[in-house]
Structure 1
């Protein structure tokens, strides 16, 4: 009986030691590191643009156009702007600034402003994704048509007119409250 008790206690001790060692091994097998906020933000911006291109590529593969995908995105996301409806141009300008300056090299400059119109200029910080002329089969022209076009459609639903012009490395845009 004493031997059985000793054997059981020994086995329990060995089992506990193995569990403790296994737990230590599991946590030390990988050196998990948290990404710095700048790297995480850069990845999130790239991933969003990659998904835009993937959506355009999918639409094209299904016999649809960039315009079809752009309208789908605008119709799907327009409700995300409801909280700024009727609050003037400031939240729209802040949103545009946020979206562009989320890119590591994004620049945003207000050129002129009045109570009903704001003109601004941004660079095109996403063009580096298109060094081969395309990303997942989507050209820079298709990407920008969707990017700026869905913004235009969404703002229209808020009673704001949005016009943009791309020239060289810059986008000049104008937002105007419609009456």
Structure 2
């Protein structure tokens, strides 16, 4: 009985110590903020793909659904340069430690490549989603937006590079 009483008193005393501990907002560097944002975007995207698959929807179909949701934020009247620059801007800022290089360009064509897009998949599938499924979802999204913006879109993997080609129609 004495041990039980001592245990309860100890438990109350310990909980009082923890209750007095203050919470603090962590200091996060700009690089850490970008990494946190990237990880959340990827996690939400992969969770969405996994849910879609559980409903019998392919990753590409899910990406097309996303593209349809994003269409109102693009203006076809702005033409090819707006879409090409928009894709460069979005993809340059999305991946930490990303390498992006323009391969070829003209007034009506842009081909560029990205490296380290697969950084989240270096150890294999994430949330039971493969890198190929992730790319299929991305293809679905970008292809819907490209069509809406009157642009032909293609992509491929070349060695460690993800290559995108945009051509004005």
Calculate the TM-score normalised by the size of structure 2.
0.79
Q: Do residues 95 (structure 1) and 75 (structure 2) align?
A: no
Instruction: Count residues in correspondence.
Output: 150
Q: Is the 8 A contact 1:118 1:175 kept in 2?
A: yes
Q: Alignment partner for residue 104 of structure 1, among 87, 96, 102?
A: 96
Superposition misfits of 4+ residues, deviation over 4 angstroms = none
1:90-109, CA deviations, whole angstroms, 9 ceiling, x for partnerless residues?
A: 33333222333322211111
Residue aligned with 2:25, SS = coil
Distance 1:51 1:42 in 2: 14
Q: Alignment partner for residue 121 of structure 1, among 113, 126, 138?
A: 113
Distance 1:128 1:113 in 2: 27
The 5 Å alignment of 1:9-20 reads: none
RMSD: 2.0
1:45-77, CA deviations, whole angstroms, 9 ceiling, x for partnerless residues?
A: 121111111111001111221122111111111
Residue of structure 2 in register with 1:73 after alignment: 66
1:135 positional shift: 0.7
Q: Which has the higher contact order (CA 8 A, sep 6+)?
A: 2
Residue of structure 2 in register with 1:150 after alignment: 141
Calculate the TM-score normalised by the size of structure 1.
0.75
**Which consecutive unaligned segments of at least 5 residues does structure 2 have?**
1-18
Rg larger for:
1
Distance 2:61 2:164 in 1: 23
Mean Cα deviation higher: 90-99 or 57-66: 90-99
Distance 1:110 1:45 in 2: 22
Residue of structure 1 in register with 2:160 after alignment: 169
1:3-62, CA deviations, whole angstroms, 9 ceiling, x for partnerless residues?
A: xxxxxxxxxxxxxxxxxxxxxx98x81232332222111211121111111111001111
1:87 positional shift: 2.5
Residue aligned with 1:120, SS = strand
Q: Do residues 29 (structure 1) and 11 (structure 2) align?
A: no
Distance 1:81 1:31 in 2: 40
